[in-house]
Amino acid sequence: MPIPLRQTIRVGAYVVAQHIKGVQRYPLVLMLEPLFRCNLACAGCGKIDYPDAILNRRMTPQECWDAADECGAPMVAIPGGEPLIHKDIGEIVRGLVARKKFVSLCTNALLLEKKLHLFEPSPYLFFSVHLDGLKEHHDKAVSQEGVFDRAVSAIKAAKAKGFAVNVNATIFDGHSAEDIAKFLDFTTELGVGVSMSPGYAYERAPDQEHFLNRTKTKKLFRDVFARGKGKKWNFMHSGLFLDFLAGNQSYECTPWGMPARNIFGWQKPCYLLGEGYAKTFKELMETTEWDSYGTGKYEKCANCMAHCGYEPTAANAAFRNPLKALQVALRGVRTTGPLAPEIDLGNQRPAQYIFSEQVQKKLSEIRRDEALAAQQKASTAA
Ligand code: SF4
Ligand code: SF4
C-alpha cells in the first residue's frame, strides 16, 4: 500500500519519537480548513452550510503556519471549502512545504488547471482530488454535470507538470461494490493513488438518506476488496485501516490524531464533529473530554468509520503490533469469515445540537471586529 518512502520514514520516526517521549495523545495530520467557501454544493457535504459572513472569512497564511507549528504533526491536509478559492493558497502551501510538512491539498479540481502555476512540484506536496466515483456517479454526488471530466483533465495536467496527485473518494449508501471496483480500476489506469472513506453522517448535509451505517460499510468494503484480489489498486491507507473497513478489527477512534483548525479555532473533538472550539492546540488537547466521544459513547459517533478518526488508530496498532500489519500487507484484507465484535451502542449519550449557537457566537465576533476596524479607520482619518 504505497505511501511514498520518504513520508513513511519521516512519519514513522515521528511516531517512534512520541512513544519514546511517552506522549499518549499526539497528532498525525493537521486538518487545516483555511475557509469554508466552496464552488460546489455537494449533497453529502456538511462543511459549507454557513451564513455568508462566515463563508467570507479566511485564515491568513500566518495563522495557517502557526497552526502547523503549534500542533507539530508531520502531515497537513488542507480541505475546506475549496482551498483553491483562497487567494493566498500558493503562499500558504509554500510556507508549509518550507517547514517540511507533507501537504495534501484537497480540491474538487474545478480551479486546479488555472491555478497550477501557484505551486511547484515537491516531494512534500500532493494534490488530493475529490472524485467519488466514475462520471455519472461523481457528477450526481457533486450535484453538477461535467465536474468529473474537468477533474480528470486537471489530474492529467497536474501529473504532466510533475505534481504528485491522488484522489479521495467518499463512499455513500447506494454506491454498488461493482461500480466502486470499476472506479478503482479507472484510478489505476489514471496512475493515481486513492484514499477512500465512508461518509460521516453530517447532521447538516442536504442529503441525509445515503449515509452508510457500520454494518453496511463493512459488507460493502468486503465486497469491494474481494473484487480487487490480484489487482494493483493503489490505496493511500495503512493495511490495518482497510482491514478495519472490512470489519476485521474492533477499533476505537483516535479523534486527536487528525485535529482540525479552522476560522472558529481548534475544533472539538475532531474534524467531523464541531462541539466547541479551543483557542490553542494545547487547550484543545487539555480541555477536550476525549472519553465522551467515539462509537458507543456518543450518539453522533454511532456510525462513524471515517478515515480521519480511525487511520490514526490503525497506525498506532501497526506500531504496537507490526507482525499483524505485515500479515495484512502480505495476505491482503480478509473478505470472508466472522466479523470482529461490534461496539455496543446501549450506553451512548444522546446527541447535543449546538451548531446554531456556535454560528451566532462567531457572527457576533465578526460584527464586533468589523465595528472595531471601522472605529479605528475613522479615528485614523480624523
Ligand atoms: S467539493 Fe468538498 S467542500 Fe465543496 S461542497 Fe463538495 S464536499 Fe463540500
Ligand atoms: S467516532 Fe471519533 S472520529 Fe468519528 S465523529 Fe466521533 S469522535 Fe469523531
Which ligand 1 atom is the nearest neighbour of the CA of 41?
A: 5
pLDDT for res 354: 86
pTM for the model stands at 0.95
The tens digit of pLDDT for each residue in 181-192 reads 999 999 999 999
Which residue's CA is the nearest one to ligand 1's atom 7? Answer: 45
Report residue 1's pLDDT band, with 50, 70 and 90 as the boundaries.
very low
Please answer whether residues 272 and 302 qualify as being in contact, where contact means their C-beta atoms are separated by less than 8 angstroms.
Answer: no
**Residue in 38, 34, 124 with CA at minimum distance from that of residue 81:** 38
CA 44/CA 131 separation, integer angstroms:
13
CA 20/CA 121 separation, integer angstroms:
34
Q: How far is the CA of 108 from the centre of ligand 1 (A)?
A: 7
Give the DSSP letter string of 141-209: HTT-TTHHHHHHHHHHHHHHTT-EEEEEEEE-TT--HHHHHHHHHHHHHHT-EEEEEEPP--TT-S--S
Decide the pairing of beta strands 75-78 and 102-107: parallel
Return phi, psi of residue 60, to 5°: -80, 160
The tens digit of pLDDT for each residue in 126-152 reads 999 999 999 999 999 999 999 999 999
Ligand whose nearest atom lies closest to the CA of 290: 2
**DSSP-H helix ranges across the chain:** 5-21, 52-55, 61-71, 89-98, 112-115, 135-141, 147-160, 177-190, 214-227, 239-245, 281-287, 307-320, 322-331, 355-381
pLDDT for res 271: 96
Q: How far is the CA of 252 from the centre of ligand 2 (A)?
A: 9
Return phi, psi of residue 194, to 5°: -130, 130
The tens digit of pLDDT for each residue in 216-271 reads 999 999 999 999 999 999 999 999 999 999 999 999 999 999 999 999 999 999 99
- Per-residue pLDDT, averaged over 50-75, amounts to 97
Q: How far is the CA of 303 from the centre of ligand 1 (A)?
A: 21
Across-strand partners of 193?
A: 166
Which ligand 1 atom is the nearest neighbour of the CA of 79?
A: 3
The end-to-end CA distance of the chain, in Å, is: 64
- Per-residue pLDDT, averaged over 116-124, amounts to 97
Decide the pairing of beta strands 265-269 and 260-262: antiparallel
Q: How many CB atoms lie within 10 A of CB 226?
A: 16
Enter the C-alpha cell of residue 208.
441525509
Which ligand 2 atom is the nearest neighbour of the CA of 298?
A: 6
Report the percent of the chain where pLDDT is more than 90: 88
**Binding-site residues, ligand 2, Cβ < 6 A:** 253, 255, 269-270, 272-273, 293-295, 301, 304, 306, 309
Query: C-alpha angle with apex 239: 171 to 141, nearest 5 degrees?
Result: 10
pLDDT for res 47: 87
Report residue 2's pLDDT band, with 50, 70 and 90 as the boundaries.
low
Ligand whose nearest atom lies closest to the CA of 33: 1
Please answer whether residues 29 and 68 qualify as being in contact, where contact means their C-beta atoms are separated by less than 8 angstroms.
Answer: no
